[in-house]
Amino acid sequence: MVDSEQRWDRLLRIKTGGRDDSHAGAFNFPYEPTPYCVLERLASRGYIGKRNTLVDYGCGKGRVPLFMSYQTRCRSYGVEYDEDIYNRALRNVRECPAGNRVNIMLTKADTFEVPVEADRFYFFNPFSVEILKRVLKRIMETHYVNLTKLAAAPTLSAAASQVNTAAAAVPTDRLLFFYYPSQEYISALQAMDELTLVEDIDCTDLCPDTANERERVVVFGISETIQVNAAGKPAF
């Protein structure tokens, strides 16, 4: 694994190794990069491609968005609240060949405005379950708004429909990727009716020394049908 870590950092011209817990706390957890061998496996599954837009919550130094944009040609956003780590991520973006497809945002995850085009979301235990739930609510609200707009699209005039290319670009499927998830995360996700388990990608063979069953990427999809309350708002 060490060879893979060094090889990919050199190829991408970035520096993303090491753990950083200088600003960690009860709700925001330390920075630790996802192993490249895990990212290679995820990329090979075909869930992320050049037509997708990925958001990495707690992106740290930018490894996930930079690797995925390089390997799959997707567009990526990285969300990071720690200004020191954010500045290191910006340096990596400037140096990386895929940096022109990556945007790093200095903001808190639960206040980040989800881009309308975003349809892939990555998490490596970046924060508490309380924050995770608020983040998922924002993602689902964006998803619901997009579905509502698409449902209304047929009411447009024929002329308007011909020029309404933006609606065609709005994604209707959204996938969430959780690497090394805690049982607390899994329990919270399984309790959400809006989420459906898509795949549990086993990665234990990539880290044989640890033999930890948490070495996996769990993939959830967001339902295209979202319950609404009496006020017509998403019921989550």
96 is written with which tokens? 């990386």
Q: Strand 195-202 vs strand 216-222: parallel, antiparallel, or unpaired?
A: antiparallel
Q: How far is residue 160 from each of residues 26, 167, 182, measured CA to CA in Å?
A: 50, 11, 48
Say what the pTM is.
0.84
Determine the Cα–Cα distance for residues 134 and 199; give it in Å rounded to an integer. 23
**Torsion of Cα atoms, 81 then 46 then 53 then 92, to 10°:** 50
Q: Is-contact 89 78, C-beta < 8 A?
A: yes
Which pLDDT score, from 0 to 100, does residue 160 have?
47
Identify which has the larger pLDDT, 71 or 22: 71
CATH code for the structural domain at 2-222? 3.40.50.150
In angstroms, the Cα distances linking 49 to 33, 65, 71, 119, 128 are 21, 12, 9, 11, 29
pLDDT, mean of residues 50-76: 97
What is the rounded average pLDDT for all residues in the chain?
84
Tokens 């234990």 -> residue: 204
The residue count for the chain? 236
How high is the pLDDT of residue 91?
A: 98
Question: Which has more confidence, 17 or 183?
Answer: 183
Dist. CA 81–CA 23, nearest whole Å: 10
Q: What is the DSSP string of 137-163?
A: HHHHHHHHHHHHHHHHGGGS-HHHHHH
What b-and-e string marks burial along 78-103, b requiring 16 or more CB atoms within 10 Å of the CB?
bbbbbeebbebbbebbeebebbebbb
What is the band of 102 on the pLDDT scale with cuts at 50, 70, 90?
very high
Alpha-carbon gap, residue 211 to 208, rounded angstroms: 5
pLDDT in tens, 182-228: 999 999 999 999 999 999 999 999 976 766 888 999 999 998 765 55
Q: Which residue ranges make up each domain of the chain?
A: 2-222
